[in-house]
Amino acid sequence: MRAQGRFTEAIPEFETVLKFDPNNAWALFALAHCKLNAGSIEEVIPLVERAIRLSPRDPNIGLMYFRIGEVDLLESRVSEAIIWLEKARNANPEYAFIRAFLAAAYGLNGDAKRAVTELAEARRLQGEGSYSSIARVKKGSFGSSNHDLFEATFFAGLRKAGVPEE
């Protein structure tokens, strides 16, 4: 269900998994993803923090750091977002989307030089034409219920980093 974008329907399924296995870090992380996309953004960070405590040496911990940074960015806590997104980038430097979110955060923070640098790296990692326009990025996987939050933060930050509308 989560993979099909049926986030609200997936939530009780992940909650059932966690009743039987409360220490399943990836079920917690997947539940957090569903909660974010279903609009329960305030529940995301505690779930991810718990997943990090359960699996602090996870090879994909950068994705957990990213999720916290993403939520901080969406809730306009830009300084906190930068801290988590930098941790995510350092843990998983090959993920273009982490670089794009970091570029947006730097842009919102008024650090144009770092924003441009991270955006260039996101484009290099993602490939030709990536992050070439806001319209193109919006065609990606931003199908959550948080459109207004993405517009006010992520897309606004990308604009400040130099991404044109079209």
pLDDT digits (tens, 9 = 90+) for 22-32: 999 999 999 99
47, 16 in Cβ contact below 8 A? no
Residue 30, helix vs strand vs coil: helix
Closest CA to 67 of 50, 53, 88, 82: 88
Count of CB atoms situated within 10 Å of the CB of 113: 8
Q: Residue 124 pLDDT > 60, yes or no? A: yes
Question: At 159, is the pLDDT very low, low, confident or very high (cuts 50, 70, 90)?
Answer: very high
Walk me through the domains of the chain, giving residue ranges and CATH numbers. Answer: 1-57 (1.25.40.10), 59-166 (1.25.40.10)
pLDDT value of position 52: 98
Question: At 139, is the pLDDT very low, low, confident or very high (cuts 50, 70, 90)?
Answer: confident
pLDDT digits (tens, 9 = 90+) for 9-67: 999 999 999 999 999 999 999 999 999 999 999 999 999 999 999 999 999 999 999 99
Provide the whole-model pTM. Answer: 0.94
Q: Residue 7 pLDDT > 70, yes or no? A: yes
